[in-house]
Amino acid sequence: MAKRKKYVIPNLLIENYAAEGKCIARHEEKVIFVEGAVPGDVANVFVHRNKKDWAEANVNEIVSYSKDRVDAFCEHFGICGGCKWQMLPYKLQLKYKEQQVKDQLKRIGRIEVQEYLPIKGAAETTHYRNKLEFTFSTKQYLTSKQLNEGLPFDKNVLGFHAPKYFDKVIDINTCHLQPEPTNAIKNFVRDYALQHQLTYHDIKNHHGLLRTLMIRVASTGEVLINLVFGEDNKPAIEHLMSAIQLAFPSITSLNYTINLKMNDTIYDQDVICYAGKEFIEEKLHTGNDDIAFTFKISPKSFFQTNTKQAEELYRITRDFAECTGQETLYDLYCGTGSIGIFLSPLVKTIIGVETVEDAILDARINAENNQVSNAHFYAGDVIKICNDAFFNLNGKPDVVVIDPPRAGCHEKLLEKLIEIKSPTIVYVSCNPATQARDLAFLSSHYIATKSQAVDMFPHTHHVENVVQLKLRDEG
């Protein structure tokens, strides 16, 4: 058969789960990675990427559904790219996430972990996020069916970016990711804007008043709002902010930002506190004697978006660190210091390093507010700051905790870790594929002794993983 770039495969049986939300099927001795299906489905799929031994495809139509499927709970399922696994029972989601971690550690890193602990699932699979950001847009995303029905795409909408489209937004009525008053606030702002004919942001041409709406709801019950405007229209801004304050007096921190730039980042912009405090407070419970640490969160702060599962993640990190109270622990990529502060009662000294200076300022404030005196935080590139002089000043680590971004660790940092020979490394990862690559680099000097996955984001394919490494006996 002649090689075809793009084609349809009918009645393809989806056999198993692969990774990153894709499943595996086989056709004419070729592996097909299919998006939009679950194991057990039979589907007509469209091959959009075709290689010699493998191909990638999307589902055109489900011919027969897997017996494992369940009904999705969200009206936006199948259009919104957020919770793509709603059709899978949660137990199966955990099974496939655990499988993904093991497969990637073995296949990519060729790592033989001595002990795999069971994945830590979430007790709450909806309303688990503490932060959401909605986008205002003049362009509505429509499915092919909706376009054929003649629905207009030139429409003011408030919701989430459509997958793979930077300029089109899905109009969201109810989102199940975050507790109330999130939906109530979002829908109030949308209704107010419609009633008062406020302009929405044109993402392509960069004009329009309303740009983004960020809402944080802490486990403490405190609520923070930051409404971002694309125009400096003070009367319109003041009227809207006043209306929000009147409608939702329980909002703890009501803020706005005027962003006239081409991009949506606000880290270089001034945040104006319209009403209430300039921050909210979140708590992380350690599980030991009901000790809890309090963190101040401002509109620009980074904080784990699932508070309950962050506690589980940090408890596993603490257990893997195996501290006795005498250790010097280095927390690399420390962010606002949450991991280091969480572990501070069990070590002698915490040394935190983070590139983002604002995060380090927050980390120092968090340490002070929690009366943590044994934590010291430094701003700088991890690769550059962790040199011999730095180790001479602060002492060599007994334990290193690394929690890098999705891209993983820089090779120079991995070389430095091998050089300093910390007896224990705890690698916290939001991307098991890059974690596996980094573990392979370290494997000549370190043994992977334990691994445990944590589900931070139910109904998505994302999974966190924690690995304990022990220095090999060079004797």
DSSP codes, 387-456: SHHHHHHH---SEEEE---TT---HHHHHHHHHHT-SEEEEEES-HHHHHHHHHHHTTTEEEEEEEEE-S
Give the whole-angstrom CA distance, residue 94 versus residue 92. 5
| Element spanning 239, H or E | helix 234-247
State the DSSP code for 140: B
Label residue 446 exposed, middle or buried (CB < 10 Å: 0-12, 13-18, 19+): buried
3-state secondary structure of 276: strand
Helix spans in 108-233 (H): 144-148, 182-195
Residues, the chain, total?
A: 475
| pLDDT for the residue numbered 254 | 98
Give the whole-angstrom CA distance, residue 184 versus residue 186. 6
Residue by residue, pLDDT tens for the chain (475 residues) are 445 678 889 999 999 988 888 899 999 888 999 988 899 999 999 999 888 889 999 898 899 999 999 999 999 998 888 898 999 999 999 999 999 999 999 999 999 999 999 999 999 999 999 999 999 999 988 777 777 777 777 889 999 998 878 888 999 999 999 999 999 999 999 999 999 999 999 988 889 999 999 999 999 999 999 999 999 999 999 999 999 999 999 999 999 999 999 999 998 899 999 999 999 999 999 887 678 999 989 898 888 999 999 999 999 999 999 999 999 999 999 988 999 999 999 999 999 999 888 889 889 999 999 999 999 999 998 888 888 888 889 998 999 999 999 999 989 889 989 988 999 999 999 999 999 999 999 999 999 999 999 999 999 999 999 999 999 987 5
Cβ count near 91 (within 10 Å): 9
Label residue 245 exposed, middle or buried (CB < 10 Å: 0-12, 13-18, 19+): middle
Question: Would you say 111 and 434 are in contact if contact means Cβ atoms under 8 Å apart?
Answer: no
* Closest C-alpha among 385, 325, 388 to residue 352: 385
Label residue 386 exposed, middle or buried (CB < 10 Å: 0-12, 13-18, 19+): buried
Tokens of 471: 């220095």
Give the whole-angstrom CA distance, residue 71 versus residue 80. 16
Rounded to the nearest 10 degrees, the angle between the axes of helix 182-195 and helix 234-247 is: 140
Give the whole-angstrom CA distance, residue 220 versus residue 222. 6
Give the whole-angstrom CA distance, residue 179 versus residue 76. 17
What is the layout of strands, in order, in the sheet containing 22-27? 7-13, 42-50, 54-64, 30-35, 22-27, 16-19
3-state secondary structure of 30: strand
CA separation, residue 43 to residues 65, 275, 345 (Å): 8, 53, 54
Catalytic residue check, 430:
yes
The dihedrals phi and psi of 304, each to the nearest 5 degrees, come to -55, 135
Give the whole-angstrom CA distance, residue 125 versus residue 131. 15
**How many CA atoms, within 13 angstroms, populate the side-chain half-sphere of residue 468?**
19
3-state secondary structure of 260: coil
Label residue 189 exposed, middle or buried (CB < 10 Å: 0-12, 13-18, 19+): buried
Q: What is the DSSP string of 65-90?
A: --TT----S-TTBTTBSS-TTTTS-H
Q: Which residue's entry shows tokens 């912009």?
A: 269
Domains recognised in the chain with CATH numbers: 7-64 (2.40.50.140), 94-125+306-471 (3.40.50.150), 131-282 (2.40.50.1070)
Pairing status of strand 292-297 against strand 280-285: antiparallel
Q: Is the pTM of this model over 0.75?
A: yes
* Of 334, 386, 409, 430, catalytic: 430
The sign of the dihedral angle between the CA atoms of 69, 102, 337, 123 is positive
What is the layout of strands, in order, in the sheet containing 399-402? 115-120, 446-454, 464-471, 424-429, 399-402, 328-332, 349-354, 375-379
**How many CA atoms, within 13 angstroms, populate the side-chain half-sphere of residue 116?**
16
| pLDDT for the residue numbered 150 | 73
Give the whole-angstrom CA distance, residue 70 versus residue 83. 14
| pLDDT for the residue numbered 1 | 43
